[in-house]
Structure 1
Amino acid sequence: MSTFVLVPGAWHGGWWYAPLAVELEKLGHRAECVTLAGLWPEDDLTRRPVNLSSHVEQVTELVADLTAPGGQVVLVGHSYGGQVINGAADRDPSKVSALVHLDTDVVEDGESCWDVTTDENRAYFLESVGADGLGLAPMPFFDERAKPHPFATLLEKSRLTGAWKQVPVKRYAAALDTPGGLQAPSTMAKLRDDPDWHYEEWPATHNVLRDGPDRVLALLRDI
């Protein structure tokens, strides 16, 4: 049995992973679906500011709670969640058996989501930020459970020692049918031929669970 910690992308909560979690649990695994700070229904960004460090600390604490001495988890991140899982793994890579990135940006120390994302995404961030400058409005086609995403999480630069690279299993799935172009072109170019990564390209949109969990489940089931 493995313990999977499933970290969603921007605007989304742990509910996004529910179909995948059901299938993992049928196979005897444990699946923890994370809702990051600021994305709970009752959260108010004017009362509780949230940045990338907040999310990394949240997942780091969860990993510590889930791992007995010598225990490990599999960290899975979608989109923005990739920065969170690498940040948590960087704190203590001995607690992480695998990192799985679902169409994410894989950043280096000192880089932010804003630095590496596409011009189209930057334009949307600026158009969607509210009058208070704190939260980015969900895209109109998102699930009604989506929440404004803390803008600071996408602007704060990652603080990484490089220890996360010690995690022995690293997998990346690139979704090639994302409207408006590639979601993470710089990451795809960087990882496509990197021997430290298992890299796949999928005929799927950035919402890799839109057509069900089977493709993602296949990526995870032998870890």
Structure 2
Amino acid sequence: MATFVLVHGAMHGGWCWRPVRRLLAARGHEVFTPSLRGQGERRDELTREVGLSTHVDDLTSLLWYEDLGDVHLVLHSYAGVLAGPAAERARGRIASVTFLGAFVTEPGECLLDVEPPEVARRYRQLVREAGEGWYLPADSGFLEQWGITGDLRPWVGERLVRFPFRCQTEPAAYDPAPLAAVPTTYVRHTQPPLASLDLSFARAEAAGWELREIPCGHAMMLAAPEATARVLDEVAAARPE
């Protein structure tokens, strides 16, 4: 049995992992799917002060309070920015890190630094014009951007919440050594791909991480839960406790 901590991306919450959580649990794994502050069912906790460091606190506090070790940490989309700071603060607790269509930042970079310039400009405009200067509104256009189709569109759309802009602009400050010491996998989605992740995938490839692909859109855990659970199961099996 392995222990998984599955961390959602922007505007989502722990709810998005429900199909994958059930599949992994059925295989005997222990699975945690926290909602980061201000997201999911914790949407009422959203304030101007919530940023990247807030979410690092959320994640590392979970590991400490639950006394988790040999954790297979799975990070989707925005949550990839948490990888370096979390690996440093939870040193010794993490068995592997999987970037599931996630952003890869180097020390001192923020999320907008690794987005294409035109995307970063669009986000800044949305925040300025529709987000009171401090949050990214949960616009329905993101469903199209993320390749969410069919029956998933209304189900996901009504669960998206505002995302704090500080999470996009706060740099990830960390020592890269702890993350570099952990076995790492990058899972890329291909139908459709997301151009915003091209730089992150290139970095994963250059670093020699294990590379995997799932033929679906950005919300892999919802669009292809069986394939996602299978990949994660294989990651854990390759790195026994």
TM-score by length of 1: 0.89
Distance between the aligned counterparts of 2:24 and 2:224, measured in 1?
A: 13
Cα shift at 1:40? 4.0
2:117 maps to 119
- Residues 103, 184 of structure 1: 8 Å contact kept: yes
What SS is found at the alignment partner of 1:189? helix
Q: Which has the higher helix share?
A: 2
The letter for the 1-side match of 2:25 is: E
Counterparts of residues 118-197 of structure 1 (less than 5 Å): 118-129=116-127, 130-140=130-140, 141=143, 142-162=156-176, 163-167=178-182, 169-178=183-192, 181-195=194-208, 197=209
2:239 maps to none
Deviates more, 1:129-138 or 1:71-80: 129-138
Distance between the aligned counterparts of 2:122 and 2:18, measured in 1?
A: 27
- Residues 45, 135 of structure 1: 8 Å contact kept: no
Are 1:93 and 2:91 an aligned pair?
A: yes
Cα shift at 1:35? 0.6
Distance between the aligned counterparts of 1:124 and 1:39, measured in 2?
A: 22
Cα shift at 1:81? 0.8
Distance between the aligned counterparts of 2:134 and 2:40, measured in 1?
A: 15
How many residue pairs get aligned? The number is 217
Post-superposition CA distance 1:164-190 (Å, at most 9, x none): 2111x21101123346x5231112112
Are 1:202 and 2:214 an aligned pair?
A: yes
Q: Residues 131 and 145 from structure 1, CA distance in 2 versus in 1: closer, same or farther, beyond 3 angstroms?
A: closer
Are 1:45 and 2:46 an aligned pair?
A: yes
Q: Structure 2 unaligned runs (5+)? A: 144-155, 237-241
Counterparts of residues 3-42 of structure 1 (less than 5 Å): 3-41=3-41, 42=43
Q: Residues 174 and 105 from structure 1, CA distance in 2 versus in 1: closer, same or farther, beyond 3 angstroms?
A: same
Q: Residues 66 and 44 from structure 1, CA distance in 2 versus in 1: closer, same or farther, beyond 3 angstroms?
A: closer
Distance between the aligned counterparts of 2:5 and 2:157, measured in 1?
A: 22
Question: Identity across aligned pairs (percent)?
Answer: 30
> Which consecutive aligned stretches of 4+ in structure 1 deviate over 6 angstroms post-superposition?
none
Q: Residues 44 and 97 from structure 1, CA distance in 2 versus in 1: closer, same or farther, beyond 3 angstroms?
A: closer
Distance between the aligned counterparts of 2:45 and 2:36, measured in 1?
A: 13
Cα shift at 1:44? 4.7
Deviates more, 1:130-139 or 1:14-23: 130-139
The letter for the 1-side match of 2:5 is: V
- Residues 6, 33 of structure 1: 8 Å contact kept: yes
Q: Structure 1 unaligned runs (5+)? A: none
TM-score by length of 2: 0.83
- Residues 70, 93 of structure 2: 8 Å contact kept: yes
Q: Residues 145 and 208 from structure 1, CA distance in 2 versus in 1: closer, same or farther, beyond 3 angstroms?
A: same
